[in-house]
Amino acid sequence: MHLVTESDSQSRTRMPMPPDVVGSHKLGFFRDSSYSGYPWDTDYEFLHETLSDFVFCHPKITETGMWEEVSIMDEKNTPIRTYQVCNVMEPSQNNWLRTDWITREGAQRVYIEIKFTLRDCNSLPGVMGTCKETFNLYYYESDNDKERFIRESQFAKIDTIAADESFTQVDIGDRIMKLNTEIRDVGPLSKKGFYLAFQDVGACIALVSVRVFYKKCPLTVRNLAQFPDTVTGADTSSLVEVRGSCVNNSEEKDVPKMYCGADGEWLVPIGNCLCNAGHEERNGECQACKIGYYKALSTDAACAKCPPHSYSVWEGATSCTCDRGFFRADNDAASMPCTRPPSAPLNLISNVNETSVNLEWSSPQNTGGRQDISYNVVCKKCGAGDSSKCRPCGSGVHYTPQQNGLKTTKVSITDLLAHTNYTFEIWAVNGVSKYNPSPDQSVSVTVTTNQAAPSSIALVQAKEVTRYSVALAWLEPDRPNGVILEYEVKYYEKDQNERSYRIVRTAARNTDIKGLNPLTSYVFHVRARTAAGYGDFSEPLEVTTNTVPSRIIGDGANSTVLLVSVSGSVVLVVILIAAFVISRRRSKYSKAKQEADEEKHLNQGVRTYVDPFTYEDPNQAVREFAKEIDASCIKIEKVIGVGEFGEVCSGRLKVPGKREIYVAIKTLKAGYTDKQRRDFLSEASIMGQFDHPNIIHLEGVVTKCKPVMIITEYMENGSLDAFLRKNDGRFTVIQLVGMLRGIGSGMKYLSDMSYVHRDLAARNILVNSNLVCKVSDFGMSRVLEDDPEAAYTTRGGKIPIRWTAPEAIAYRKFTSASDVWSYGIVMWEVMSYGERPYWDMSNQDVIKAIEEGYRLPPPMDCPIALHQLMLDCWQKERSDRPKFGQISCYLTDNCCLSILSRSISRPNTALLDPSSPEFSAVVSVGDWLQAIKMDRYKDNFTAAGYTTLEAVVHMNQDYKSANTLSKNVPPKYKCVALSFFYLIDGLYYSLLGSTLEMVTKAEGSQHELKLYKFLFRPFPGFESAYHGKRPEQSKSK
């Protein structure tokens, strides 16, 4: 390794040192002949890879002795080798010292650590004009080691190096060595190697050592994925994405990735690998399961011990083999014990009732270790005394509740033949019975049926109903089981409920029941009798007698009289309930509107926002307002952005006892300061105080391990402005108003808590999958710059002026009223589908235009009522702006929503065109009012002095006088009056459009903006103008 020195004069060369001192070593140079060794040590530091570690081996030095190799004693009397120069008596020094060629080894940015001492110029007499206390560091890139001489023009300056402390003559006498250490970086580098050079300009300096190194993220294993040594990026803020490879006996679940930071630290890992089936994680490796253990799937679980009645004889088992006589069902998990079929049921009891049998039994003594036990019934019809002649009963026999898969221990068997022998077998089965069927699993019983009664009658009809009688008819039973001897009819008044009934018997299948009371409901039952006895009664038939005879046709349904009476009662009840609900709703709305019109004051018991920066200990605010979440409950899936404090990721949160949810995760990057951590967590301390459906919800924070994280709900559709631009024109006005209503509701909540947002804009509104809008972006402090662009600087960027109220710009007066101004801009953004407010105007032009009274025009297809609300939000006097409670009430008002749904808007072209069908015949104020269906207000216009269309057009000269038309309008009609004035506003803009079109055609489009400013200037309340853009350049007019 060579070092070259050069001054303005000639140079000479010394012999190089032995080759074994070249490399990554700390080298010392000594002239002391008593010291014969070189005290160097290998120096590899964590996250650093040393390129070269040396102190100048035998350089070229000038004849005048500028840079010289000198051995000195340190504070411990240990000799150290240095390169010194102290030519402070002569002016204009230019002494160079150069290293040999250093290979780059793939590094894009390298760091140079210099240790040196420097003499205080004040301690040297007579050198004030020539002595310096700095030197310069240079570098030169080269692809080979062929540079033998120093060419100053090839070198690029890295920095001027100054000492933190310098030594004096006193320090020399006391043997005090004031050693300075400075580190500089240079990059990006592109060639194979480089030289370093040191320029002395007149200092008294000694270079002790120079270490050249680069940073890398070391080889590591995270989530069973191995990440190799990775050199950091070329920039100090760059991130290098590295894909990991799964360790042996594992497979990818999600692609494992990590980012290598510029400081040599790995950032949050994404994705992971899982050990294969039959393997588990141990010490960062996937090792085979031990004998007697198994693992069925590729999961992050450990190997489990073989379940009962099973075993494994090999390492790496994915399942365990069942013991002899035990089985595992097809749908059984490998973790379930092996089981066996159950034993036979116990205590079978039979009860014969003519041609039906009821069977009951007890559960088996041994269920086989399973819970899925069920029972099957086998029915056999046998000959008398000969079981060998038994055959299946067939499909004519019925089982209640069922024949197979019984979960209860009893069954009823019907529709058997009379005087017949039957054998019934009850089989106990479970999920593994099919693998080992055995007679031991069943029990049987043999019975003989008796003579049977007839079955019940399926259909009874009322053929005729009169004032005092009912004519009934029915069908024969499906199974008479013999000769029908007679039928029995039982009937009673419905109110008696069988407490007092009458019986009528007949041999026919019809009868007339007489002597009934008029307008009375009766219930009828019919059953048949044979020699074996009576069968069961039929289902009840309900009939109501009437005053006029009428024929009933049907299957026994309620009579017409009953249907009409019940229907009438139901209708009456519905009417009464509806009237009650409407009355309550009107009362509630009236009260809500009255409260919204009043100023909100803070009452006792109302929750108030607490500024976390008022806490002496910021961690106390986090503990008080945010919930700590265990990092193991969070699964990061992908990076969706990079913020000022770190990465923003999406992932999942699974808290024990709750369902898994998608979340957004903000991480704090490594190497943060205490202030950065406090600022980062302040947003969580703020969000944690809010609980509202239109405010972004904080799930919790992770502060007890690294990285520090803030967990919030995940909003699938992202920011509102980008979402609207992506879906331009796809929503109805009512849907857009719904978004605005949600934002207004959230801002009302914040206002009631005395929280001022200061940065309300569509970009800070997030939208979820249900189109619910939620206010976000909390906790940023702002400082007004003297920038001509006049923007508030925040820790997250700059807040554009175009969203900020004028008093906040001029006087830093941030209040809920300034948030209302910003809300008006958000309304404009929503109705224009994310268009930029004021388009391409500069911030200074925006401020000037607002001060002159100009306001944004209505976006395309924006209802006039909504634009008027925007203008109210943009009142110059903040006390004249509506409160968020009033805004929320207005956007919820059904009357006003009906106006908005009609989507009244100013067209793209002039409205008052002579060819327009709406106004072609308008020649007077009366005609105009009649055309817009407002002719009942003709007298009001006349009384106010507006008798000609010209006077109406010039209402902008004294628009306040128009308010006199509605002074006496009752409160409940104010919405109608409001729509009336919006129509007046529409006519004004129509006439304005016609005038503009004529002037533009006559004088050219360059006069368009001047004309707008002239017409709008004297028009208070409707001061919108077209700033900086012509109508054809924008969706807004």
Query: Which residue, 941, 825, 798, is CA-closest to 881?
Result: 825
Contact 59, 72 (CB under 8 A): no
CA distances, 335 to each of 275, 290, 906 (Å): 17, 16, 71
Q: What residues contact residue 755 under an 8 Å CB cut-off, 6+ apart?
A: 609, 686, 690
Would the annotation count 641 as a binding residue? yes
643 labelled binding-site residue: yes
Element (H, E) at 752: helix 733-752
Bridge-based pairing state of the strands 521-530 and 240-243: unpaired
145 is catalytic: no
| Distance between start and end Cα atoms, the chain | 75
Peptide bond into 188 cis (omega under 30): yes
Chain centroid offset of residue 150 CA? 61
CA-nearest of 695, 694, 677 to 686 is: 695
Sequence-separated (6 or more) residues with CB below 8 Å from residue 553: none
Q: How many CA atoms lie within 13 A of 599 on its CB side?
A: 7
Q: How many helices, marked H, and strands, marked E, lie in the chain? A: 17, 54
Of 650, 664, 737, the closest CA to residue 699 belongs to: 664
State the residue for tokens 């999958």. 769
447 annotated to a ligand binding site = no
Q: Which of 880, 865, 866, 872 is nearest to 829 (CA)?
A: 866
Helix (H, G, I), strand (E, B), or coil: what is residue 89? Answer: coil
Angle, helix 674-687 to helix 618-625, in steps of 10 degrees: 30
Helix/strand/coil (H/E/C) assignment for every residue in 572-635: HHHHHHHHHHHHHHHHHHHHHHHHHCCCCCCCCCCCCCCCHHHCCCHHHHHHHHCCECCHHHEE
Of 53, 200, 759, 893, which is the active-site residue?
A: 759
- What are the residues facing 210 on neighbouring strands? 54, 114
C-alpha–C-alpha distance, residues 711 and 634, integer Å:
9
Chain-centroid distance of CA 365 in Å reads 55
**644 vs 859: CA distance, rounded Å:** 34
Q: Is 284 flagged in the annotation as binding?
A: no
Neighbouring residues of 182: CB distance < 8 A, sequence distance ≥ 6: 113, 114, 116, 161
Rounded to the nearest 10°, the torsion over CA 1013, 1015, 1020, 1021 is: -90
Cα angle vertex 679, ends 676, 685, to 5°? 140
To the question of whether residue 537 is assigned a binding role by annotation, the answer is: no
AA identity, residue 970: P
Q: Is 494 annotated as a binding residue?
A: no
Residue 822 φ then ψ, to 5°? -60, -35
- From 119, 203, 125, select the one nearest 168 (Cα to Cα): 119
Residues in the chain: 1037
Distance separating alpha carbons of residues 67 and 270, to the nearest angstrom: 53
Say which amino acid occupies 730: R
- 268 among annotated binding-site residues: no
Which two tokens mark 663? 């979340």
Q: Are 808 and 818 in contact (CB under 8 A)?
A: yes
User: Residue 691 burial by CB count (10 A; 0-12/13-18/19+): exposed, middle or buried?
Assistant: exposed
Alpha carbon distances (Å) from 599 to 751, 770, 816: 11, 33, 12
> Is 644 marked as a binding-site residue?
yes
What is residue 165's three-state secondary structure?
Answer: coil
Beta bridge partners, 371, equal: none
Binding residues for ATP: 640-648, 666
Binding residues: 640-648, 666
Residues annotated as part of the active site = 759
